[in-house]
Amino acid sequence: MFDVVVIGSGPAGYVAAIRASQLGLKTLCIEESIQKNGDVSLGGTCLNIGCIPSKSLLDSSHRYYEAIKNLPNHGINIQDIGLDLETMMKRKDNIVKKLTGGISSLFAQNKVEHIVGRGKIISHNKVEVTKPDKSIENIETKNIIIATGSSPIEIPSAKFGKNIVDSTGALSFKEVPKSLGIIGAGIIGLELGSVWSRLGSKVTIIEALDDFLPMTDKDIAKESFKEFKKQGLDIKLGSKLISAKDLKGSVKIIYNNEKDIDMEFDKLIVAVGRAPNTKNIFKDDIGISMSNNFIEVNEFCQTNIPNIWAIGDVVRGPMLAHKGSEEGIMVAERIANNYAKVNYSLVPSVIYSHPEVAWVGLNESELEEKGIQFKIGKFPFAASGRALAIDQSVGFVKILSEAKSDTILGVHVFGPSAGEIVQQALISMEFGASSEDLGMTMFSHPTVSEALHEAALSVNNEAIHIGNRTK
Ligand code: FAD
Ligand code: NAI
């Protein structure tokens, strides 16, 4: 009898399994995904087909783009710059292999057992595992953690095929498509659109909504939209896909933006969101409450059945690796009867474009909706010495703090190392900092983080390197 059985080994599941085992609980992790050679493939979407391979290609494509477009501005002239896509893909695959193999070692070091197969909950204390050879093993356990993740949504108007692909297909193109269509100007559309645009594709993104990045602060959305357009991403807002046909060598689409318009691409990526993997993971009579195909949980990720928990992309909240991992730790701690909780108001988000878009906490529209009085501090990277020196002076840092107490409520950044800058802000927010606290903190010069410092000073009209509003 196990104390904990985790179904799924993504960043939610493997972290939960390791923490549970560290806490002395006898733990098993079940993973169905296998590699071509038959070995288990640990690490879930994030390590195999998500965060890691996409960031690897974002980095490689950025270096290539820098070499061809920007190095001459620095007085560096390189002749005969070439693209070897096969090597770029191999580098990505090797990083994935290293990290997924690392999870096996972490499991071994932390005494987490793991088994290859598809897990299905058949009673409150029993999980049935169907192994690759179709044999079945029933496993008894005191607690079950569902961490089965999510998969790309397929839409009827653009069925996946040879040239119509999801994010996984778009991470492994064999050659750079001359023209690339993308359905959805969300995070995947922008990240993978950037990758292929930098490598030479002419990228068109079809987005159904009229607003660009509606989840971000409106100033950030406006500024980043301008920059992405300048970088060559042709983003068509308010455009509804009507049909996409996978012809032999290309894809023909029809979309509507006041009138029907057709376009043809070499490849089409459909990135319209992800759906939770909740089909057939438990017998119907188990009685786990569901909501819109997500597993319903309380703030501690406990389902309506007290010994069954669910974490990561299968439950409410943003589909982000770090959110799932923190939930995994919380659940392991709670199963061990320790106190733990996740601060859902401070989940950071980063779009790894260049420059990055990152934010944490509430944005201006959300504060207005909630009727919270607030102050704004802003600092442009154009006024940052370091940003100019490194040729990355686009964008700004924006801080929103509560009008009376000055407590920081949201930080929004578009610019160099935005993800890292937001992380610094988040740490201060976890400790309840005010913008004055950040303003009184010393920052190294010259760093791009100084923009955070100046934005904090600007909240109270005390910025040094930009003009302030008259008091
Ligand atoms: P998953 O990572 O999806 O893992 C679930 C695992 O469960 C899988 O391995 C699956 O095989 C297994 N499984 C499913 N059903 C069963 C079953 N019945 N039995 C056994 N095993 C099963 N997030 C970020 O935070 N940062 C990023 O930069 C980022 N980039 C991304 C880029 C792309 C292209 C994509 C697609 C996603 C990205 N994400 C990113 C999102 C991130 O990958 C997910 O939020 C994260 O992987 C969710 O973790 P999870 O553990 O809940 O599920
Ligand atoms: P998304 O939800 O970010 O964006 C999907 C976009 O597609 C939305 O703008 C939506 O309006 C649009 N859309 C939906 N249906 C459409 C249609 N029929 N026609 C045109 N547009 C349509 O989803 P995405 O990009 O697929 O990513 C899924 C999730 O993966 C993200 O929400 C995020 O949680 C995670 N992710 C995180 C990353 C990161 O943290 N850097 C990177 C990549 C993915």
pLDDT at residue 120, rounded to an integer: 98
Looking at residue 467, its pLDDT comes to 82
Is ligand 2 within 6 A of the CB of residue 272? Answer: yes
With 0.95 as the threshold, say if the pTM is over it. Answer: yes
Ligand with smallest separation from the Cα of 272: 2
With a cut of 70, say whether residue 272 has pLDDT above it: yes
- Does the pLDDT value for residue 271 go beyond 80? yes
- The average confidence (pLDDT) of the chain is 96
- Report pLDDT digits (tens) over 59-83: 999 999 999 999 999 999 999 999 9
Which residue's C-alpha comes closest to atom 2 of ligand 2? 273
pLDDT class of 153 with cuts at 50, 70, 90: very high
Instruction: Output the CA 24–ligand 2 centroid distance in Å.
Output: 39
Q: Which residue in 124, 354, 412, 445 is the catalytic one?
A: 445
Residue 245, pLDDT > 80, answer yes
Is any atom of ligand 2 closer than 6 Å to the C-beta of 358? no
50 has pLDDT over 90: yes
Instruction: Answer whether 188 contacts ligand 2 (Cβ < 6 A).
Output: yes
Best residue among 56, 188, 206 to mutate for probing ligand 2, ranked by most atoms within 8 Å of CB: 188
Rounded distance from Cα 398 to ligand 2 centre (Å): 24
Q: Which pLDDT score, from 0 to 100, does residue 367 have? A: 98
Band of residue 40 on the pLDDT scale cut at 50, 70, 90: confident
**Percentage of the chain exceeding pLDDT 90:** 96
Closest ligand 1 atom to residue 328 Cα is: 51
* SS3 of the chain: CEEEEEECCCCCHHHHHHHHHHCCCCEEEEECCECCCCCECCCHHHHHHCHHHHHHHHHHHHHHHHHHHHHHHHCCCCCCCCCCHHHHHHHHHHHHHHHHHHHHHHHHHCCCEEEECEEEEEECCEEEEECCCCCEEEEEEEEEEECCCEEECCECCECCCCCEECHHHHCCCCCCCCEEEEECCCHHHHHHHHHHHHCCCEEEEECCCCCCCCCCCHHHHHHHHHHHHHCCEEEECCCEEEEEEECCCCEEEEEEECEEEEEEECEEEECCCEEECCCCCECHHHCCCEECCEECCCCCCECCCCCEEECHHHCCCCCCHHHHHHHHHHHHHHHCCCCCCCCHHHCCEEECCCCEEEEEECCHHHHHHHCCCEEEEEEEHHHCHHHHHCCCCCCEEEEEEECCCCEEEEEEEEECCHHHHHHHHHHHHHCCCEHHHHHCCCCCCCCCCHHHHHHHHHHCCCCCCCCCCCC
pLDDT over threshold 80, residue 170? yes
The Å distance, Cα 302 to ligand 1 centre, comes to 20
pLDDT mean over 1-29: 98
The CB of 274 under 6 Å from ligand 2? The reply is yes
Is the beta carbon of 319 within 6 A of some atom in ligand 2?
Answer: yes
pLDDT of residue 378: 97
Instruction: Give residues (CB < 6 A) around ligand 1.
Output: 7-13, 30-33, 44-46, 50-51, 54, 118-119, 147-150, 167, 188, 277, 281, 312-313, 319-322, 324, 352
Is 412 considered catalytic here? no
Residue 349 CA, closest ligand 2 atom number: 40
Q: Give me the mean pLDDT over the 84-97 stretch.
A: 97
Does residue 34 surpass a pLDDT of 90? no
Q: How far is the CA of 242 from the centre of ligand 1 (A)?
A: 29
d(CA 41, CA 148) in angstroms, rounded, equals 14
Average pLDDT over residues 204-208: 98
Band of pLDDT at residue 469, cut at 50, 70 and 90: low
Give the tens place of pLDDT for each residue, 348-392. Answer: 999 999 999 999 999 999 999 999 999 999 999 999 999 999 999
The number of the ligand 1 atom at minimal distance from the alpha carbon of 152 is: 36
For residue 34, which ligand has an atom nearest its CA? 1
- Radius of gyration for the chain, computed over Cα atoms and rounded to the nearest angstrom: 24
Give 275-326 pLDDT, tens digit per residue: 999 999 999 899 999 999 999 999 999 999 999 999 999 999 999 999 999 9
